[in-house]
């Protein structure tokens, strides 16, 4: 997933961000190794890798002076015998800004660490990427046919295309036609009342 802060987060003393991840029942990392690679960027094009976290954790920007985008890449091994075989992974609850980047004393984003709801088995993929005329959106792990709203967002933050799709067990795919879009980098937002994720798409 890729997220954008409303303001630039500056590199100051101590850690800059805290990532809160959903793990049912608060298991240890050894028993439930949900891992993610954390990267940050100022322009959503050039990224700096800040390393990996296991479940909840904090990150320091290191040599990065400031950033406005964060990318969280699931690195959990679905082959691990620690998981229950339903394509479990790193489920983000919140990204918390720890320093005073927005100019208000003690400012930080709200967080909620959900440890009461079991992790779902939804796996979303978008391919090919880079894309030419169309992209295939795959959502696996749904038990019933489910509606989603898909927004394609350009580099300026403008929604350039919206599609309402329904995906279920019998038909886990949807085709996104993007042949009319200009060359560039887009964010693909996939959401409904219960689920939300964002993918980076290159055309």
Percent of the chain surpassing pLDDT 70: 75
pLDDT of residue 108: 41
* 98-150 pLDDT, tens digit each: 875 544 433 343 434 444 444 445 677 888 888 989 999 988 777 788 899 99
What does the pLDDT look like over 69-82, one tens digit per residue? 888 887 776 555 55
Identify whether the C-beta of residue 5 lies closer than 8 Å to the C-beta of residue 86.
no
pLDDT of residue 79: 55
162: three-class secondary structure by DSSP: strand
Model pTM score: 0.48
Give 23-50 pLDDT, tens digit per residue. Answer: 555 666 666 677 888 899 888 888 898 8
Indicate if the pLDDT at residue 165 is higher than 90. yes
CATH code, residues 123-202: 2.60.40.3080
CB 146 within 8 A of CB 54: no
Greater model confidence, 172 or 149: 149
Phi, psi of 172 (to 5 degrees): -85, 15
Sheet with 66-74: strands ordered across = 2-10, 66-74, 35-41, 48-54
Mean per-residue pLDDT over the chain, rounded: 77
* Structural domain boundaries in the chain: 2-97, 123-202
CB-based contact 177:134 (threshold 8 Å): yes
Residue 26: the pLDDT is: 60
């Amino acid at each position: 997933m890729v997220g954008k802060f409303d303001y630039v987060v500056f590199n100051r003393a101590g850690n800059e961000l805290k990532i809160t991840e959903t793990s049912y029942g608060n298991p240890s990392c050894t028993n439930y190794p949900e891992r993610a690679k954390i990267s940050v960027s100022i322009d959503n094009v050039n990224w700096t890798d800040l390393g990996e976290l296991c479940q909840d954790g904090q990150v320091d920007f290191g040599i990065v002076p400031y950033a406005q985008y964060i990318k969280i890449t699931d690195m959990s091994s679905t082959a691990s015998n620690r998981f229950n075989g339903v394509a479990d992974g790193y489920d983000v609850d919140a990204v918390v800004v720890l320093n005073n980047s927005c100019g208000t004393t003690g400012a930080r984003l709200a967080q909620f660490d959900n440890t009461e709801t079991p992790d779902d088995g939804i796996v979303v993929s978008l391919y090919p990427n880079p894309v030419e005329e169309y992209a295939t959106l795959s959502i696996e792990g749904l038990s019933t046919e489910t509606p989603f709203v898909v927004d394609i967002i350009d580099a300026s933050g403008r929604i350039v295309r919206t599609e309402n799709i329904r995906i279920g067990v019998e038909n886990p795919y949807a085709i996104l036609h993007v042949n009319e879009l200009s060359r560039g980098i887009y964010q693909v937002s996939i959401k409904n009342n219960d689920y939300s994720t964002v993918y980076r798409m290159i055309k």
